[in-house]
């Protein structure tokens, strides 16, 4: 039975920015202009990556602050965050700033959590833009350095950059693509969890050091093992060399003694 990993993605942002529209466009490729206030909706999806099944829970939260306990719980249990604002609303950008402050207050590991900041309603930005992506990037990369974060704009209505949002989480979560990507963001992915590492270590032990498929990390470990062996060998040589020289000296002395004895016997024979 294949191993599996479950990841919870929590979507935060103000009311009416299109959080639910992004999720529905991604999951069902559908869109509606009708607005319905969200309390909390949970979606799930599975991806078969070969050696592991990736189970993704997508939690769509309320855009207002009527349920603070639910909000705190969702932040505490998240593995990744999608912060959504509307490019046509400066107030929505201020809202995701407050969302991030909540994350920073509740999660000591906030710098290690994958975060995507998405500006929705890009289809209206040409005529009604209030938030420039340069301002968002400046806030993220200048005021909040050392984060695992990506900034982009999208449109749930036009299906622009929607898949790229979720593909970004794959990269930020260090589920790295190996080989070609089939466009779904799940082709040839390599999991970097502790379970995967333990399995891959067992596989490395069965590989030959000369195997051409060994990765750079494996080659590094092989070279370090070889260096260690050479070091041990060089350390053992000084103990063996004196032993060899002493044997040579004893053999030499014995041979010389035999020669002297033979000469002495020869002289004795001549005298007699």
Q: What is the pLDDT of residue 113?
A: 95
Judge whether 235 lies within some domain: no
The per-residue pLDDT for range 143-170, each reduced to its tens digit, is 888 899 999 999 999 999 999 999 998 8
State whether 156 and 257 are in the same domain. no
- Extract the tokens encoding 234: 């060089």
State whether 268 and 152 are in the same domain. no
Range of the structural domain that residue 19 is part of: 3-202
The model's pTM is 0.64
Lowest average pLDDT, out of 8-17, 20-29, 193-202, goes to 193-202
Total structural domains within the chain: 2
Q: Is the pLDDT of residue 26 over 60?
A: yes
> In whole numbers, what is the pLDDT of the chain averaged over residues?
74
Judge whether 221 lies within some domain: no
The better pLDDT of the pair 270, 265 is held by: 265
State the Cα–Cα distance between residues 52 and 199, nearest whole angstrom. 11
Judge whether 73 lies within some domain: yes
Q: What is the pLDDT of residue 67?
A: 75
State whether 50 and 159 are in the same domain. yes
Judge whether 225 lies within some domain: no
The per-residue pLDDT for range 105-128, each reduced to its tens digit, is 999 999 999 999 999 999 999 999
Which of 175, 202, 229 is the endpoint of a domain?
Answer: 202
Residue 11: band (very low, low, confident or very high) from pLDDT cuts 50, 70, 90: very high
Judge whether 234 lies within some domain: no
The better pLDDT of the pair 57, 254 is held by: 57
For residue 42, the surrounding DSSP H or E stretch is strand 40-48
The per-residue pLDDT for range 169-189, each reduced to its tens digit, is 888 887 644 443 444 443 333
Judge whether 224 lies within some domain: no
State whether 131 and 261 are in the same domain. no
State whether 172 and 257 are in the same domain. no
- Count Cα atoms within 13 angstroms, Cβ side, for 99: 28
Three-state secondary-structure class, residue 268: helix
For residue 13, what are the contacts with CB-CB under 8 A and spacing of at least 6? Answer: 19, 63, 83, 84, 85, 92, 95, 96, 99
State whether 68 and 149 are in the same domain. yes
Residue 251: band (very low, low, confident or very high) from pLDDT cuts 50, 70, 90: low
Domain with residue 181: its CATH number is 3.40.50.300
State whether 251 and 143 are in the same domain. no
Judge whether 107 lies within some domain: yes
Which of 202, 220, 255 is the endpoint of a domain?
Answer: 202
């Amino acid at each position: 039975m294949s191993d599996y990993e479950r990841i919870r993605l929590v979507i935060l942002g103000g009311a009416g920015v299109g959080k639910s529209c992004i999720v529905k466009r991604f999951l069902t490729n559908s869109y509606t202009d009708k607005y319905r206030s969200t309390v909390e909706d949970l979606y799930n999806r599975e991806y078969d990556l070969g050696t592991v099944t990736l189970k993704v829970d997508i939690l769509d939260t309320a855009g207002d602050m009527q349920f603070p306990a639910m909000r705190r719980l969702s932040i505490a249990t998240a593995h990744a965050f999608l912060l959504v604002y509307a490019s046509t609303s400066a107030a929505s950008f201020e809202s995701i700033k407050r969302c991030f402050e909540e994350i920073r207050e509740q999660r000591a590991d906030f710098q290690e959590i994958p975060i995507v900041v998405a500006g929705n309603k890009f289809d209206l930005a040409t005529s009604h833009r209030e938030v420039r992506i340069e301002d968002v990037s400046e806030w993220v990369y200048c005021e909040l350095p050392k984060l695992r974060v990506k900034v982009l704009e999208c449109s749930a209505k036009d299906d622009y950059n929607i898949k790229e949002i979720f593909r970004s989480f794959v990269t930020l979560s260090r589920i790295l693509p190996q080989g070609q990507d089939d466009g779904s963001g799940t082709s040839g992915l390599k999991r970097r969890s502790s379970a995967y590492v333990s399995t891959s270590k067992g596989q490395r032990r069965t590989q030959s050091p000369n195997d051409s498929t060994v990765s750079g990390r494996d080659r590094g470990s092989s070279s370090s093992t070889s260096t260690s062996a050479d070091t041990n060998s060089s350390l053992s040589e000084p103990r063996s060399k004196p032993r060899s020289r002493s044997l040579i000296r004893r053999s030499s002395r014995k041979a010389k003694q035999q020669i002297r004895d033979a000469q002495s016997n020869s002289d004795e024979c001549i005298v007699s």
